[in-house]
A and B are shown apart, each in its own frame.
Chain A
Amino acid sequence: MSVKGKVWKYGDDVNTDVIFPGKYTYTIKERADMAKVALEDLDMEFNKNAKPGDMIVGGKNWGCGSSREQAVSCIKERGIAVIIAKSFARIYYRNCFNEGLPIIVCPEAVDAINMGDEVEVDFESGVIIAGGKEFKFPAYPEFVQGLIKDGGLIPHVKKSLGLA
């Protein structure tokens, strides 16, 4: 599978509070409503203008802070194709796979990509194409490949319990 989209680029240590503010954690319940407040305290331009198929590129430790899964759900519901970062905070990293949101760790690509760039990602060959250059990224760990194939943790569990 290959995707192509416009990049929204941010720095290091973007935390879950600015991705999905804590004050909404018990008042917003529908996924479509979560999408409406995505990145509200980080970047109102993104909040207003991000389109399905766009990509997010972050620095190190993307998604640090709270375990709130809505910080992943709101981005997935917004139709963001992939998050590329130098590294991810661990709960966020797990939440992405559990929600079926593709993420890539590739510091070299992050350094080469600018806000607004058009970037292509080929998941099968493990390549990011940005500014005419190719950046290889490693395959997902074996134990999460099953999750991705099934579309996230809940469908994966249903399948493993014979309830799908």
Chain B
Amino acid sequence: MGKTFAEKALGRAAGYDVVANQVVTVEPDWCMSHDNGAPIARTFKKIGVKNVWKPERIVFILDHAVPAPSSDHAVNHKEVREFSAEQGIKHFYDVTSDGGVCHQKMCEEGFALPGLIMVGSDSHTCTYGAYGAFSTGIGRSEMAAAWATGKIWFKVPESMKVVVTGKFKPGVSAKDFILKFIGDVKADGADYMSVEFHGDGIENMSIAERMTLCNMGIEFGAKNAVCRPDQKVLDAIKDNAKCDRWEPLWADEDAVYAAEYHYDLGDIEPGVAKPHKVDNYAPISEVKGTKIHEAFLGSCTNGRIEDLRAAAAILKGKKVAVRTIVIPASWIVYRQAMREGLLDVFLDAGCVICNPGCGPCMGNHEGILAPEEAAISTANRNFKGRMGDKDSFIYLASPMMVAASALKGEISDPREAL
């Protein structure tokens, strides 16, 4: 009987053969924390261990509210700086032009690598599966314990196989597919499971698109989500891998799955997740014309250069009808957008460009909604209150649909704006 990706990755880390539902204790290759490094550091100190197990395995990336919008946030950042200095944590991305959204940085800096075990104190840590890593989100106590002991337990998950074939039609993207998929399997569709994306549809996608898919894994309950580390990934990591512990792993042909789904990308149309649940899917035909007050382009889901290019192509030479906030996912993306003239396109269209970071995604700053307002957003969650006010509404969509909607002030079909 063949093995799934999760069985191979966790077996490699455990040092022995494992099967689904077995419990293993492994040493994480990387432990990533963002602004919540501060409360984790406080919990770590309560344990009573003087030093973290391996400072070189810990990564801090400030992104949730940068630069600090309040004194409370500033104190939080200060604690992360102090703890990093005290513990000798070198992989620290502070509020500088080296920074950005943590998941984007983990990928572009070469931490996300095939076969590694990566944990992060953030639910969207599953993003690194786009590079073939086994990566998953954990809570604060668990991260503090991992720093202290260098160990974390996992139940080897059962796996879901999602076979994707074909290519998108113009105006349709990875976000449209994953929103449709979540609408089909629902928010708990892969609870506790490892999700593997297979097929030539995935091979046709850029790494950026695969990141969008894996990033949204948690939105249907996945423990981790992963794509095969193909030549595109090997080329991307060739010169900037942060360690040599990696190894390309993939599921055997005869691996056993708890669930299997098949999709042809040619059948996917533009769609949204309506308020207030990510699995509340609707095709464009059902929501077209819905009034919006804000458009947000950015986040760990869709703030990459490919996303900015797709939106800019629609906005070029036109004016937005509602406030439109553009937040590149990192300063590397920001600079690239600047070089390509995309920032001028956004500014000429009337958009506001903010510094890389999470922005308004979880209601901290840079685009909070007023009661009764609606936003169309490229982020990953539309929960009630997510963007700061419990009486506001969030529609999740692709960068192309966000751009098309920004031009009209209502939810619009990107295929008509190409």
Which residues of A are at the interface with B, using a C-beta cutoff of 8 A? 12-13, 15, 17-18, 21-23, 25-27, 29, 40-42, 60-61, 64-69, 72, 87, 89-91, 94-95, 98-99, 141, 143, 152-154, 157-158, 160-161, 163
| Complex A-B: 30 CB contacts under 8 Å | A13-B187, A13-B188, A22-B362, A22-B364, A22-B385, A22-B386, A23-B385, A26-B36, A26-B72, A26-B76, A26-B364, A27-B70, A27-B72, A27-B73, A29-B72, A40-B390, A42-B384, A64-B221, A65-B381, A65-B383, A67-B137, A68-B36, A87-B188, A90-B192, A90-B221, A98-B141, A99-B141, A154-B141, A154-B145, A161-B149
* Cα–Cα, bound, A143→B23 (Å): 8
Q: How many A-B residue pairs have CB under 8 A?
A: 135
The residue on A at minimum CB distance from B121 is A67
Report the minimal beta-carbon distance from B316 to chain A, rounded to whole angstroms: 33
Per-position binary interface string of chain B over residues 85-125, scored 1 when its CB falls under 8 Å from any chain A CB and 0 otherwise: 00000000000000000000000000000000000011100
A154 touches B43 (CB 8 A): yes
* CB neighbours of A69 from chain B (8 A): 139-141
Q: Which 7 A-B pairs have the closest CB atoms?
A: A22-B362, A61-B188, A17-B383, A41-B385, A23-B363, A95-B139, A69-B139
A89 touches B47 (CB 8 A): no
Judged by a CB distance under 8 angstroms, whether B49 is at the interface is: yes
Report the minimal beta-carbon distance from B45 to chain A, rounded to whole angstroms: 11
B144 touches A154 (CB 8 A): yes
Judged by a CB distance under 8 angstroms, whether B397 is at the interface is: no
* CB neighbours of A68 from chain B (8 A): 36, 139
Per-position binary interface string of chain B over residues 139-154, scored 1 when its CB falls under 8 Å from any chain A CB and 0 otherwise: 1111011001100010
Taking a contact as CB atoms closer than 8 A, the residue among A60, A64, A87, A94 that contacts B139 in the complex is A94
The residue on A at minimum CB distance from B142 is A98
Which residues of B are at the interface with A, using a C-beta cutoff of 8 A? 23, 35-36, 39, 43, 46-49, 64-65, 70, 72-73, 76, 121-123, 137-142, 144-145, 148-149, 153, 155, 187-188, 191-192, 218, 221, 223, 277, 279, 362-364, 381, 383-386, 388, 390
B191 touches A89 (CB 8 A): yes
Given A17-B381, A61-B191, A64-B221, also A94-B138 (CB < 8 A): yes
Known: A21-B385, A161-B149. 8 other contacts (CB 8 A): A15-B277, A18-B383, A22-B363, A23-B385, A26-B64, A41-B390, A98-B139, A154-B145
* Cα–Cα, bound, A157→B377 (Å): 41
A64 touches B192 (CB 8 A): no
* Cα–Cα, bound, A41→B389 (Å): 9
A153 touches B141 (CB 8 A): yes
Report the minimal beta-carbon distance from B49 to chain A, rounded to whole angstroms: 7
A163 touches B141 (CB 8 A): no
B141 touches A18 (CB 8 A): no
* CB neighbours of A61 from chain B (8 A): 187-188, 191, 221
